[in-house]
Structure 1
């Protein structure tokens, strides 16, 4: 036990205290979290919008500036992975439980409850897909890219630990090694916990929805708790096998299943309609990107609430995932140039996500708007299976989807325990199994407590609240990164 860090014990104690609070006083916790969520959305929604747009713009500026030539590694060091393997890893990073949970349900939800204009129309269908691309597209991946860039730069160029506090060292100096640095790392830990908890919560609810569709299993929290318990055993077993075995095998399985499901869905559904709709709406998304990324409706409260409930939530979710996803992206990107890194990380996964939503979302809209089947009336977790019901081989497609959600669940939890282990064990690439095990239990407990006390609303509240201080940290991190780049360029000229 002496080998475990002070950071681990402090952050773990806070996590256990949060779980106990939710278990003993669930109503109080939900009310506090809801009040915090409302305060952040009302007072700082604009801050999330501007910060996210800033991350997107500064990523492009850095990529095409003189800093784009800087290597994420030592001078002359070649990329650790081939370009094709690297791209495949970026694609797998773009996949997750959210793509299945929201693939049909989000575009259809925006179609029936649009950000503006009349509902259930051709225009609301187009707008719904455009805003789905926004939420999962260039802005989201720019957040990951800029954080992963900083982590990779300090790790591979400067041989520093892969911790969030390290990225602030150019700004706050040696204080990054003291209490301030510890606070930064604890914020990163809890942002990761709450961000991943959303995925685990929606994953359990959608597995339950699929089992209800396939085998008429009751759809309730008790069943979802059992699902979480079973998957906890699975991902802890995977974590015990080590990163190179567990996560690698599951990631390969995820990719194969996801590609199979995508093409099956594409060819069994209204193929021409889906492809034409994707082509038209993706072009419109790119065309309207600046205005969509900064949109608010201060004179129309209902439309403004839509932005806060959807767009701002997504920005908070992606920001909370940055210590997790960005660590993975950074680890596989050694030896790349800054320009190559930023362009690939922002564009490749964004297009994969857009294709996914363009196909799945268009199918849902087709069956609702063209065929008159009430897809929009289904819950978020069952909309996908309801669309499957309208297609051939629906039982097989639903079965593959449930299996894919399960493997995504296990992979996300397995990877998250590894990252949490790194964050609380001095950036170690091989954190002790007990550390990963402890974080796995606490992470699932937090997801279960938040689902029990407030459902998905409770999960969203936790993410929006913890995302705010992390956003401030990321802005300071960008400032420090630019200072380091400038110092490097000056040193090279001497």
Structure 2
């Protein structure tokens, strides 16, 4: 079972070719990825919007249907992890660095720089910025993760299939998934995962660099980011070597503790009453306008299409590229739970947490902006730290934030090496350490190349491209899952 599959060798070659081309021809790499990204965003934006909305609808239908009683495993099995640890693990894998990177910066941008539909700098834009942040990080994201993870967990633990994306498509293609077609499917999943996780690692390196620059004057640039990625790579490989139940479990719980501490302190030292009022109203606006936001494509001139491409389409592509990684990881830690319990937990708890998070950090950033201090003059990775400068306990807050980013960095990369190891060893639940190390090095190499050739722009271009082919696989997974669940209920098993 632990034998390395063709998927490993094929994907490693593809990753090496992409990294080598980016290193040798950085300008051409950035230009090519930029052109492809523009084509995908322009021509498939509507498709991404429909796909993500369909995932929400489908997940709710499954949870409320008789399928919800089915257990992800045998009928006698119970969860491997406590509910608290389970939530911490799925949350750390599914969000991580991005929350800290965008927590203050995204709502601030929508409010003060470029609002989706309102006039910048107004109260309406302030509220709209928060509700769109909830939208980008809330139900749609977690529904997509839930469906991907559900398909993997159902076939792996209920039907005893290998933990591979290709195995979830057997109800549609049968034994063809054991041949070249199955290899192609798994290669797409692994390739998307490598670039999706590399994106997050790039964000993490940039923001840790920004925090160290802000606190200690360390120069912002590729050299510092290279050293950060090198150090963190050594740390997450050490964690990956220790195994799932040890390293990732402890790191995930650490992440949640640090995140909750940072959130509570900001709630206390920030504009507490304003945060509570803004959360209450803007979460209501999110629920009220969720259908409108879900299907907005900005088709006409003057609809602010550039905003949609730069934010919603970028996010949807990012989450799709993360789907195989997060889906496999959530599936692995969810054995023994019923489908209803699983979907309810994956959808509701993270959505509420990220909404409170953005309300706290986004409202505080907007309040600092309104006090006459222009936070928009700073790069995205520096907004958070300059916001802290205007709060009590600023040094402590900045140090906690850097530790949290580093911890999220290690957890995301650690989880990804495990998932990539599974996918390239025929679904082994205990992939060999040498395979995990190889994938860990590959992820870091891709993150470094993307930073080298064009920084965050190259990162954003690449994920929008990597997500498209895997999105078609996700549609097939939904159809196959529905077919298998229907058969399960009819058979009475």
Which TM-score band (shorter chain)? over 0.9
Residue 142 (structure 1) aligns with: 143
Residue 419 (structure 1) aligns with: 419
Q: Secondary structure at the match of 1:366?
A: helix
Residue 167 (structure 2) aligns with: 166
Q: Distance in 1 between matches of 2:242 and 2:81?
A: 23
Residue 246 (structure 2) aligns with: 245
Give how far 1:240 is off. Answer: 2.1
Residue 398 (structure 1) aligns with: 398
Give how far 1:290 is off. Answer: 0.7
**8 Å CA contact 1:93, 1:349 repeated in 2:** no
Give how far 1:478 is off. Answer: 0.4
Residue 10 (structure 1) aligns with: 10
Residue 477 (structure 1) aligns with: 477
Q: Distance in 1 between matches of 2:334 and 2:246?
A: 20
List runs of 5+ in structure 2 lacking aligned partners.
Answer: none
**8 Å CA contact 1:90, 1:348 repeated in 2:** no
**8 Å CA contact 2:236, 2:411 repeated in 1:** yes
Residue 431 (structure 1) aligns with: 431
1:44-59 alignment to 2 at 5 Å? 44-59=44-59
**8 Å CA contact 2:89, 2:253 repeated in 1:** no
Superposition TM-score, scaled by structure 1 size: 0.97
Q: Distance in 1 between matches of 2:36 and 2:326?
A: 25
**8 Å CA contact 1:94, 1:353 repeated in 2:** no
Q: Distance in 1 between matches of 2:12 and 2:151?
A: 26
Q: Distance in 2 between matches of 1:320 and 1:150?
A: 17
Q: Secondary structure at the match of 2:376?
A: coil
Give how far 1:91 is off. Answer: 4.2
Cα-to-partner distance string for 1:395-452 (whole Å, 9 max, x where unaligned): 1111111111111111111111111111111111111111111111111111111111
**8 Å CA contact 1:135, 1:311 repeated in 2:** yes
Residue 289 (structure 1) aligns with: 290
Q: Distance in 2 between matches of 1:300 and 1:368?
A: 30
Cα-to-partner distance string for 1:71-109 (whole Å, 9 max, x where unaligned): 211123333334444344444445410010000000001
More deviation, 264-273/323-332:
323-332
Give how far 1:331 is off. Answer: 1.6
Q: 1:72 to 1:104 in 2, by over 3 A?
A: same
Q: Distance in 2 between matches of 1:93 and 1:443?
A: 15
**8 Å CA contact 2:138, 2:351 repeated in 1:** yes
Q: Do residues 360 (structure 1) and 361 (structure 2) align?
A: yes
Q: Distance in 2 between matches of 1:296 and 1:8?
A: 38
Q: Secondary structure at the match of 2:373?
A: coil
Q: Secondary structure at the match of 2:377?
A: coil
**8 Å CA contact 2:90, 2:329 repeated in 1:** no
Q: Secondary structure at the match of 1:297?
A: coil
Q: Distance in 1 between matches of 2:337 and 2:140?
A: 22
Superposition TM-score, scaled by structure 2 size: 0.97
Give how far 1:203 is off. Answer: 0.5
Q: Secondary structure at the match of 2:381?
A: coil
Residue 331 (structure 1) aligns with: 332
1:211-290 alignment to 2 at 5 Å? 211-290=212-291
Residue 186 (structure 1) aligns with: 187
Q: Distance in 2 between matches of 1:315 and 1:329?
A: 19
Cα-to-partner distance string for 1:95-135 (whole Å, 9 max, x where unaligned): 41001000000000111210112101111010101110000
**8 Å CA contact 2:45, 2:309 repeated in 1:** yes
Q: Distance in 1 between matches of 2:469 and 2:189?
A: 9
**8 Å CA contact 1:91, 1:348 repeated in 2:** no
Q: Distance in 2 between matches of 1:256 and 1:72?
A: 28
More deviation, 301-310/86-95:
86-95
Q: 1:200 to 1:89 in 2, by over 3 A?
A: closer
Q: Distance in 2 between matches of 1:417 and 1:445?
A: 13
Q: Do residues 386 (structure 1) and 386 (structure 2) align?
A: yes
**8 Å CA contact 2:3, 2:425 repeated in 1:** no
**8 Å CA contact 2:93, 2:412 repeated in 1:** no
**8 Å CA contact 2:94, 2:326 repeated in 1:** no
**8 Å CA contact 1:320, 1:470 repeated in 2:** yes
1:26-65 alignment to 2 at 5 Å? 26-65=26-65
Q: Distance in 2 between matches of 1:111 and 1:44?
A: 27
Cα-to-partner distance string for 1:259-284 (whole Å, 9 max, x where unaligned): 11111111011111111111110011
Residue 459 (structure 2) aligns with: 459
Between the two proteins, the alignment pairs up a number of residues equal to 491
Q: Distance in 1 between matches of 2:62 and 2:238?
A: 41
Residue 152 (structure 1) aligns with: 153
Give how far 1:241 is off. Answer: 2.3
